[in-house]
Chain A
Amino acid sequence: MRSLDLKLIRDLRTMKGQMLAISLVMACGLTMLITFRGLIVSLETERDRYYSENRFADVFCDLEQAPNSLRPRLEAIPDVAAVETRIKGAATLDIPGMDDIAEAVMISLPDERPQRLNLLHMLRGRFPEPGSRNEIVVGEAFAEAHAFMPGDTIQAVIHGSREHLRIVGIALSPEFVYELPPGAIVPDNKRFGVFWMNERELANAFNMDGAFNNVVLAVSPGGDINRVKEELDRILRPYGGRIAYDRSEHTSAEWVEMEIESLRAVALAFPIVFLAVAAFMTSAALTRLVRLQREQIAQLKAFGYSSRAIGLHYSKFVLVAVAAAILVGAVGGYLAGRGVIVLFHQFFRFPSLTFHPDYLAVLLGVVASAATAFLGVLAAVRQAVRLPPAEAMRPEPPAKYSPSRIEVTGIQHLVSPAFRMALRNLERKPWQGLFTAFGLAMATAIPILPGAMRDGMDYMMDFQWRLAQRQDVTLGLIEPGSYTAFTSMRNLPGVVEAEPFRSVSARISHGHLERRISLSGLTQDARLNRLLDAEEQQVPLPLSGVLLSRKLAEILDVGPGGVVLLEVQEGRRPVVAVPVAGTITDFTGIGAYMDIDEVRRLMGEGRTVSGAHLTLDAAEWDRFMVKVRESPRIGSITRTRAARESFDRMMGEMFGLAQAIYFGFAIVLAFGVIYNGARIALSERTRDLATLRVLGYTKREVAGVLIGELALLTLLALLPGLFIGSQMASAILEAASTETTRFPVVLTSRTYATAVLIVLASSLVSFAVVGRRIHRLDLIGVLKARE
């Protein structure tokens, strides 16, 4: 065996370029597999561990106010394992150096006992002392954004009264893995934070002594969550209970799931493409090698080597390629995975999110790609060893050719012999050509996804913040107010335009399908917060009936003309059946929209408002903010531009990285496929090419013959590649589309041009590399020997 291994090493050395190309493509596939699968496993593992160790609740419910004496009744609900009643409220924060106000959600901590559910993971400092004043624990993301440390103080307006809060601890919570300001789609850690405070103190601030307005429950394993929710709804109804919901509708939990889902969407498709292409490349390269070494194989057999030994020898080539790929892929996947985990930390706050490779998936990927490559080699080796040695030692009979089918058209009279050679070679080995074209098509397809995501994101931002939401600021009142509240908002300094809205939380259902939503009442002539269809045209608000987000209509399986049931969770809690008047296009969240007067009528109210959308004179901003800060009734302020900026900042980095990685992979794939194809073509045609050189063809002309065929394949691959890429991008974006965010599929000429350029540039480079070999053709040697 030793001398065969020596032969292996020598042969590998002569085909090192090709082996490198194969290993790199395979390594890309493995890198992706390891990165994506690892991220999924890491997120899932950490999520499960964190949720279970920190006792993340299963059911959540907000209410207006209920006495603490109600707690035993909640604990008595069948299947409930633990109950935590809490006080939850909002605070506006005044942070020195910020021209904006920040907001915090404040959550109570039990005074004299440990938490039962949603346990904080304390990073720094301590819990507030029982009976202490104004001590708070701050969520890590907000603390980090402002470089707050235990001991720092924050000025806050809580329920209309100004307080100096002192940070005593910095913590994480399983219910705020993804810290999202209400109504936003990306974290804005500068403007939104989560604070925890002693219950008694918070009860004082919100006038809730002996009462609670938020409850979280743990359901015992195997318990019936839906029954628990129903029971909870029933008990809390008299206390202004909103609809109870489980983790599937919990903002933070939902976003974590969405991230995992979107990783799943890419985790399989792309690695499979790379591994499949690499398997084919290996098979093609080794089939060629076996054919070239036909006579050597015959000699080995004549010497008494068994077919098995010879088969094993050629299998080792695959083994080397796979081993190199595993090495590079493992290191690459591990480093990429760790890098992405660091980026994830900006969005997802887990106590110890570290990268864990998914060994099983990696093993499967390796075995599958190695097996495919082995199978390809096996066929060639079997063919070679089956011949009796004496016959195999004679050269193969000359290749049989026939006019290519396309020549029926008479095209041959128009094209050069070189082009004819290319056509006939392709037709003689259609599979080889087809796979090369397939590889190139995939290389063209891969950059489409990041391009589509980037353009989709741009479109989404433009749609959301230039066409649909044209306000500069949205103010929300702590409690719904009368029309005077609206006029006073309209009269704030600098306000140019103002538009009131009335929104209520409601359960919307159609048959057994239901969702918790916010029902927004808007004015008929809305100019700021506009409802648009997919063609960017304003959808008229019906005088009666409701407009639904298209995604919501899809979830409820209802269309225009259908009827949905609305159960409002506020005020007198009306329940009405409403016709669906139409759907609107939006890309984040799901919502239902009605005429503002309809909502008021439904609620049995006068001209109430929940807040106002405003456009402002930028010069008046400071004066505007002073007034807003002074106003105790304003509970929230959302700046559209700030939202867009934070979105840009958070997503830009993520997408920049993703795009660079996809482009890199596409380049490796295109280069690998073409280089491998060119080397095989060169090896198959060395004799022809050298003959042409002898006959007086220049190097350039000879290179043209070789490259013509590959160029033809490249050109043939581009259009299908763009098509496959578009389909793949649409499918992946569709799979990653959730109730929280949906990416529009936007395919621009810029994306297509980038994809084409990547493939053409990679092709040119590999042509240049192979072209150099034409300079070294052995003109004399080739004439001396038969092939």
Chain B
Amino acid sequence: MPDSADKHTTPAGSEPLFEARGLTKIYNPGTEAEVRALDGVDLDLFESELVVLLGASGSGKSTLLNILGGLDVPTDGTLDFRGESLTEADERALTQFRRETVGFVFQFYNLIPSLTARENVTLITDIARDPMPAEEALALVGLGERMDHFPSELSGGEQQRIAIARAIAKRPDVLLCDEPTGALDVKTGITVLEAIARVNEDMGTLAMIITHNAAIAEMAGRVIHMSAGRITEIHTNTERRPAHTLVW
């Protein structure tokens, strides 16, 4: 059932993790090149839910994800995480927020080529407060066997799973995935989505996946549609489909 009216409805009935009000992001304000990437977004996100953010290119979904992940700051509006304002946080606090709370997965993996799979994960466990062992994180994404390989020796799907292992090793509260399957074929994409789903279920991490692939939306609890910097629709799936049953 589509539900775009009551934004305060909580799937689990709990307090929201993120609380965004009137989030606005304008690039190059006051110039001819002014772009209104986000235009007054109100959104609550809750622990343990799996959210898929759907939209065409330029709809503002990446900007939203970047602001949620502390990579960018809004031009206007407020964003709280567990009741603490992220809009008023300084550079240092945002770095700390990313370090402790957020796991990122990107379309192009962004692994460090000079480090092995295990070492790419260690990169995070070295600085996190309460990380799991790198080996455990890799085992969670099914890469326990290939830990000592360098990125150049792994397939795209394997590289993306290292990226997921790297993102979850710190036991993040939030897992933000920007087009995680964008550079992968269907079969590999599905293994990656399975890994994300498993983390979401096993660890209770809030997972948000950005995609323009509508098929992926079927595995989500909630699906947020964006267009021209606004949320046009949020609907809750009555039934979540397991990743391995998806087709596109």
Contacts and interface: CB of A to CB of B under 8 A. Distances in A.
A694 B112 contact: no
Query: Most chain-B CB neighbours within 10 Å: which of A400, A687, A694, A695?
Result: A695
11 contacts: A398-B152, A401-B115, A417-B112, A417-B123, A420-B115, A691-B111, A694-B104, A694-B110, A698-B99, A699-B95, A783-B104
Contacts of B106: 783
Contact of A697 (B69, B107, B127, B150): B127
A701 interface: yes
B127 A783 contact: no
A424 B114 contact: yes
Nearest to A425: B114
Contacts of B112: 417, 421, 688, 691-692
* Chain B: interface size category: 35 or more
B160 interface: no
Contacts, number: 90
A510 interface: no
Contact of B152 (A401, A421, A696, A779): A401
A697 B104 contact: no
Nearest to A427: B114
Nearest to A783: B106
B225 interface: no
Interface string B91-130: 0100111111010101110111111100100111011100
A320 B18 CA distance: 54
B214 interface: no
Interface string A764-787: 000000000000000110111110
A294 interface: no
A693 B95 contact: yes
Interface size class of A (residues with CB under 8 A): 20 to 34
Nearest to B69: A694
Contacts of B66: 780
Contacts of B56: none
A696 B71 contact: no
Contacts of A420: 114-115, 119
Contacts of A784: 62, 107
A417 B126 contact: yes
B166 interface: yes
A87 B116 CA distance: 89
Nearest to B116: A403
A269 B80 CA distance: 65
Nearest to A398: B152
**Which of A399, A424, A425, A691 gathers most chain B CB within 10 Å?**
A691
A696 B127 CA distance: 8
B108 A786 contact: yes
A409 interface: no
Contacts of B114: 399, 401, 420-421, 424-425, 428, 688
Contacts of A691: 110-112
B123 A692 contact: yes
Contacts of B116: 403
Given A688-B112, A695-B99, 7 more contacts: A401-B114, A401-B150, A421-B112, A696-B100, A696-B124, A783-B106, A784-B62
Contacts of B127: 696-697, 701
A687 B109 CA distance: 11
A694 B71 contact: yes
A400 B95 contact: no
B72 interface: yes
A402 B150 contact: yes
Nearest 10 A-B pairs (CB), nearest first? A696-B99, A696-B98, A424-B114, A691-B110, A400-B152, A399-B113, A401-B114, A398-B152, A421-B114, A401-B150
A783 B114 CA distance: 18
A248 interface: no
A416 interface: yes
Contacts of A417: 112, 115, 119, 122-123, 126
A500 to B, nearest CB: 78
Nearest to B106: A783
B202 to A, nearest CB: 22
Interface string B12-32: 000000000000000000000
Contacts of A397: 152
Of A420, A688, A691, A696, most B-chain CB atoms within 10 Å: A696
B113 A696 contact: no
A695 B152 contact: no
